[in-house]
Amino acid sequence: MDRIKTVLIAAAIVAVAAAGNAYGQGCANGCNTTTHTGFGWSNGKTLEQRLQEHRRNFHAFCEHAEVVRQRNLAWPKPFQCHDRQAFAATFYPMYQRGYELQCTFSDAHFDDDNELNSAGKQKLAGIMANLPVERRQVLVFDTGNPTTTQTRISEVTSAIKEWWGHLPQPTIAKTINRHYGQAGDEVHQNNARFLSSLPTPAITAVSGGGAGAGGSGN
């Protein structure tokens, strides 16, 4: 054990002596005692500049470590929000188009005189009563005839002012997206004709026979 201690102490003395010689040679070669450029280990920076750089690096490391710690504690919250937003962004255009079609008035909502029929009035009532204020809009399909389209817009505008003038007025505009639908009377008539054209069910009755004749016992 004493021999090992002696060897370690001798190695330390040799290392210190070598460092002192190197330092002396560096300074003898014209080194700056403030920057120690003769050794080439500080790249011309003063000791204070090196300490400041180390402090900045250490603080940056601590801040990054704290961010990672907080992120691990909150997981999966930050990433879950981004995933939900990306998922919702895929379906938002369809969601928006569904609202537009819900608020679109086409030929099925007007009679021959371009006045609102029963279906149009009920649809308008549903928009004003059920949809949120930010979603209330009335879109009239552009028929290609400016007179017809403007007449229908005026009809819808007057109906809203007459019945729901006390509520916030919705936006009224033209649209080129047709609402494909039918009046309720037409749907009822089509269903009635379909049911009346069905043939009478012909199901042959099967006469059920009883169980087989009983066997005779011995």
Residue 11 pLDDT > 60: no
Q: Which residue has the higher pLDDT, 187 or 27?
A: 187
pLDDT tens sequence across 163-188: 998 888 899 999 998 877 666 778 88
Q: 48 falls in which pLDDT band (50, 70, 90)?
A: confident
pTM for this model (two decimals) = 0.49
Q: Where are the domains of the chain?
A: 28-75, 94-185
Q: How confident is the model at residue 6 (pLDDT cuts 50, 70, 90)?
A: low
For the chain, the three-class secondary structure string (H helix, E strand, C coil) is: CHHHHHHHHHHHHHHHHHHHHHHHHHHHCCCCCCCCCCCCCCCCCCHHHHHHHHHHHHHHHHHHHHHHHHHHHHCCHHHHHHHHHHHHHHHHHHHHHHHHHHCEECHHHECCCCCECHHHHHHHHHHHHHCCHHHCEEEEECCCCHHHHHHHHHHHHHHHHHHHCCCCCCEEEEECCCCCCCCHHHHHHHHHHHHHCCCCCCCCCCCCCCCCCCCCCC
Q: pLDDT-based confidence at 78, cuts 50/70/90?
A: confident
